[in-house]
Amino acid sequence: MYESFLSGGGLRKKSSITCVRTSSPENHKFCLEGNLTFVEADKNGEEKMFLCPQFFGKPAPPPGYGTTALTLSSKKFTPQGWCTPPPHVLGHYTALGGHTILHEMTHMTFISSHALNPPRLPYVFMDSDWLLTLWDNPTSCIQSPTLARDLKKRWEAYQAAQTSGNFNHKMPPVPTSRNAENYADAAVEYFFAKKCSNFKPGSILGQTGLEL
């Protein structure tokens, strides 16, 4: 997925980002519902990302819709800033505009289809719309980055089985409605693990205070 981000879906393709203004007809219903961002295709099928006013904190996002109040320059990379000692609070790191942008990028067909469709994947998974319609976890308990790590482990097990000639191993449901958040969380986790020597990916607290 991250290679697809950097390579523009393997095509060096670029996509525009539009700011939705409250005084404009582009004040889309998704913004009115409280969302920070959304991706939508125009009449020609060209996908674009839209940033709602609440992405910039004006107005503040409704409860439960997250926040993009921070930038990497909001704090220094010190123990008193970004590099706080463990346990780490998930929300302290995901309240970044970059995290939300990464989330939305996975919803763009040219990004997700390139990332999720190497030759080893069956044709049935080439429809990136599945990203929005299937659940990776059949339960109602959604805890990231736990699911992100679990998805990675399941794929490693599947690929190892394929390599050994065991074709009965069940493929993980790659295109899922939670993958966008999982990929964004995993990227943020990786970034801070590289930037902060005291960052421990195994010691992250979720919103409820439970270790993930």
pLDDT tens for each residue of 154-193: 777 877 887 888 888 777 665 444 567 778 888 888 899 9
- 55, 94, 59, 96: which is closest to 74 by C-alpha? 96
The pLDDT assigned to 50 comes to 92
- The answer to whether position 198 is within a domain reads yes
- Does 89 map to a domain? yes
Q: Which is higher by pLDDT, 136 or 66? A: 66
Question: Does 145 reside within a domain?
Answer: yes
- Identify the pLDDT of residue 119: 53
Alpha-carbon distances, residue 47 vs 32, 121, 165 (angstroms)? 20, 24, 39
At 210, is the pLDDT very low, low, confident or very high (cuts 50, 70, 90)? very low
Q: What percent of the chain has pLDDT over 90?
A: 12
How many structural domains compose the chain? 1
Residue 173 lies in a domain: yes
CA dist 205 and 212 (Å) reads: 6
Mean pLDDT for the chain?
76
Whether 46 is in a domain gets the answer no
In a domain, 100, yes or no: yes
- The region of weakest confidence among 24-38, 50-64, 80-94, 116-130 is 116-130
On the 0-12 / 13-18 / 19+ scale of CB atoms within 10 A, 143 is: middle
The burial of 93, by beta-carbon neighbours within 10 Å (0-12 exposed, 13-18 middle, 19 or more buried), is given as buried
Query: Tens digits of per-residue pLDDT, 45-63?
Result: 888 899 998 898 877 777 7
Does 190 map to a domain? yes
Look up the pTM and report it: 0.70
Q: Tell me whether residue 92 is exposed, middle or buried, using C-beta atoms within 10 angstroms of its C-beta: 0 to 12, 13 to 18, 19 or more.
A: middle
Strands 37-41 and 88-89: unpaired
Domain assignment of residue 155, given as a range: 2-10+68-205
Is the per-residue pLDDT at 197 higher than 90? yes
Beta bridge partners of 41: 47
pLDDT, average across residues 101-119? 78
Q: How far apart are CA 16 and CA 1, in angstroms?
A: 19
Query: Residue 58 falls within a domain, yes or no?
Result: no
Q: What is the pLDDT of residue 113?
A: 75
